């Protein structure tokens, strides 16, 4: 079985580092001339997937925008996941799940077990019930060659209240990165357990933890190519800059070309 880290490394080498969000905000549906209902959701999500999945390494649907339509919205998400994976993209489902014991295991089974209709390549997870609470997700990911991206230093302005708190001389964000380093020890060429580090944070942390970095906040939230250089430095080759709204605002006819242009800029950044 090929690990998620190895598959991600190969996909980025082939397709570039861009992580394209497919997030059907109501405002974006309107911008595309679609109604904010199940029919609009389906047309938006599948059109975006058809444009993006053949050309980017990673697509990242935000689960909440599908969940708001109930079971039929989840059915659209399942179709989108299948479409994107069939087109060769890795699917990182942005769910930010975090719980303990059997519930944590149930989340892992829902998203990381190939037997599930919602199985994806990787998910986002929240460590704020204690990093060890995510153990079932890590174990299930290892078993099935999947990945987990753990919130460490996020792009939202409220994040530092928790992530910047100091525990035994280390911030909570730094402790999360330390734990990820332990999980990725010995992985080659890239670990399967990543960190979420925003492209808008003020200071770049030590990112020598052996895994990939998901960098939300690039684009509409204000993160720039210069910010990526400043924050991530030598870790840039392991960074997946993530954008959703800025890319999707291009509309269905210009979406593929816009993704290609942005990916080329990011390839140049990574050298």
Instruction: Look at strands 239-243 and 213-215 and give their pairing.
Output: parallel
Query: From CA 248, how far away is CA 270, in angstroms rounded?
Result: 23
Nearest to 133 by CA among 153, 95, 165, 104: 104
CA 88 to chain centroid: 16
Give helix then strand counts, H and E, for the chain.
Answer: 12, 10
DSSP letter for 36, please.
Answer: S
Query: From CA 138, how far away is CA 135, in angstroms rounded?
Result: 5
| Catalytic site includes residue 143 | no
Query: From CA 14, how far away is CA 16, in angstroms rounded?
Result: 6
Instruction: Say if residue 161 is exposed, middle or buried (CB neighbours under 10 Å; 0-12, 13-18, 19+).
Output: exposed
Determine phi and psi for 259, rounding to 5 degrees. Answer: -65, -40
What torsion do the CA atoms of 257, 263, 264, 268 make, to the nearest 10 degrees? 170
Catalytic residue among 79, 85, 96, 267, which? 96
Query: From CA 140, how far away is CA 69, in angstroms rounded?
Result: 28
Active site residues: 96
């Amino acid at each position: 079985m090929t690990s998620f880290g190895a598959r991600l490394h190969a996909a980025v080498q082939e397709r570039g580092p861009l992580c394209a969000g497919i997030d059907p905000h109501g405002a974006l549906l309107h911008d595309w001339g679609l109604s904010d209902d199940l029919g609009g959701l389906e047309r938006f999500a599948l059109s975006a997937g058809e444009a993006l999945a053949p050309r980017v390494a990673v697509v990242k649907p935000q689960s909440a925008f599908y969940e708001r339509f109930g079971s039929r919205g989840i059915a659209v998400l399942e179709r989108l996941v299948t479409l994107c994976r069939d087109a060769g993209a890795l699917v990182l489902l942005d769910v930010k799940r975090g719980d303990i014991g059997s519930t944590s295991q149930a989340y892992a089974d829902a998203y990381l077990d190939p037997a599930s209709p919602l199985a994806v390549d990787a998910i986002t997870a929240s460590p704020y019930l204690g990093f060890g609470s995510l153990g079932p997700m890590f174990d299930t990911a290892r078993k099935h060659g999947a990945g987990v991206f753990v919130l460490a230093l996020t792009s939202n302005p409220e994040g530092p209240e928790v992530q910047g708190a100091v525990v035994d001389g280390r911030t909570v964000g730094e402790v999360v990165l330390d734990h990820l380093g332990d999980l990725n020890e010995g992985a080659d060429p890239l670990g399967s357990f990543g960190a979420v580090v925003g492209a808008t944070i003020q200071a770049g942390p030590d990112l020598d933890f052996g895994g990939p970095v998901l960098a939300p906040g690039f684009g509409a939230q204000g993160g720039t190519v210069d910010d990526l250089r400043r924050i991530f430095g030598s870790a840039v080759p392991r960074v997946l800059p993530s954008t959703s709204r800025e890319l999707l605002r291009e509309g269905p006819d210009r979406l593929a070309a816009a993704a290609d242009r942005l990916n080329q800029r990011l390839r140049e950044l990574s050298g």
